[in-house]
A = this chain, B = another copy of it.
Amino acid sequence: MIRTTSPAISPSPKGHPFAGAFAMLGPHMAALNLFLQGQLAAFEPEIRAMVNYCIDTSGKRIRPALVFLSGWTDSEAVSPDLVRAAAVVELVHLATLVHDDIMDSAEVRRNRMTAMREFGPTAAVLLGDALFAHALHLATHFPTTEVCAAVSESTRRVCAGEIVQSMRRRSTDLTPADYQRIIDLKTAELFRVSCYLGARLADYEGGYVDALDRFGRHLGIAYQIYDDLADFFGREEKIGKTLGTDLANGKLTLPLFVLMDRLPPFERETLSGEIGGLQPSQPALRLKQMLALGVFDAVEAAVQGEVSAACAALAEWPGHPPTHHLLALGDVLLAQAASLRPAG
């Protein structure tokens, strides 16, 4: 059934890593939800219910938040341009999630069935395509081609990152540089373009737009490293998706790199076999080893390093309205990463 009433606004869903920093965005997120619901009518009647399933309001809406905060001004009003740009980046993100979940055969995301599970892989491929296409269509409603150009290029980069990741799955010769490249493309790119678009649409000067662009990129890298740490140390009911999938799927992420580096040679070979899919993965053992060998600390330090780099990009612009809010966002991410640390 197509939900015809606007759903309750929940700008701070359970487990939202940035919930604290988003409190002020209530009206913005409400406007975004309303706008997204309004887009349903643009889709062919036959697929509206599926699209509605995908644009549900339980998402974290991090990228829209970056658009809103990077375009923050002293005005109280919610800018319709920012709402539209936020919808564009969110729809692109949702489309990539729909396609990711096919590839990961993921069953649960945001505490409910994935689109892949709900509608089958075939419909999910096409539904993701339709979301992409509509995102780019919305981007053409700006006066110039700039937004559409930026978003289509970012989308291609996100896909390239995902392809590289999927091709290197179960590959044990992945280097930390490869990992950096993958997360730069698959995650940091859309964070970056969100900040860029917010700043551009708020008409900030070139130097500040560049600074926000750099902020977004580093925050995106920090966020992905946090997310990779959460795959090992998070609690499913809090994060809202199946965890522990990276080791099981042979995805070599930073926590595994560091563990690999610190294990004695024989143990390293066993772990390598788990990543390569030659041996069943032993998540409990790996978690124990990560704690014993200080892997958590090292990965948390990497998150801190990227958040610092993000904040440093804004150092020259202390007085601009977005700066304060974005720095606070960095702090919230650090607090979230710290909160993953197991007690005791």
Residues of A within 8 A of B (CB): 42-44, 46-47, 50, 95-96, 99, 102-103, 121-123, 125-130, 132-134, 136-137, 139-145, 148-149, 152-153, 155-157, 159-164, 166-167, 185
Contacts and interface: CB of A to CB of B under 8 A. Distances in A.
Contact of A142 (B123, B128, B145, B155): B145
Nearest to A129: B159
Contact of A102 (B123, B125, B142, B145): B125
Contacts of A148: 136, 139-140, 145, 148
A7 B139 CA distance: 35
Task: Decide if the interface of chain A is mainly helix, strand, loop or mixed.
Answer: helix
A163 B126 contact: yes
Contact of A126 (B46, B141, B162): B162
13 contacts: A43-B156, A44-B156, A46-B163, A47-B163, A96-B129, A102-B122, A123-B167, A126-B163, A132-B133, A132-B155, A137-B156, A140-B152, A145-B148
Contacts of A162: 126
Given A130-B156, A133-B155, A137-B153, A163 B99 contact: no
Contacts of A126: 99, 103, 159-160, 162-163, 166
The 8 closest A-B pairs by CB, nearest first: A44-B160, A133-B156, A137-B152, A140-B149, A133-B155, A140-B145, A130-B159, A129-B159
Q: How many copies does the complex hold?
A: 2
A160 B134 CA distance: 11
Contacts of A47: 160, 163-164
A93 to B, nearest CB: 13
Given A130-B159, A134-B156, 6 more contacts: A42-B156, A44-B157, A95-B129, A129-B129, A137-B152, A140-B145
A122 B152 CA distance: 21
B160 A43 contact: yes
A130 B160 CA distance: 7
Given A123-B167, A126-B99, A166-B126, A136 B152 contact: yes
A52 to B, nearest CB: 14
B137 A99 contact: no
A17 B157 CA distance: 36
B127 A163 contact: yes
Contacts of A133: 132, 152-153, 155-156, 159
Contacts of A137: 149, 152-153, 156
Nearest to A102: B125
A141 B148 CA distance: 10
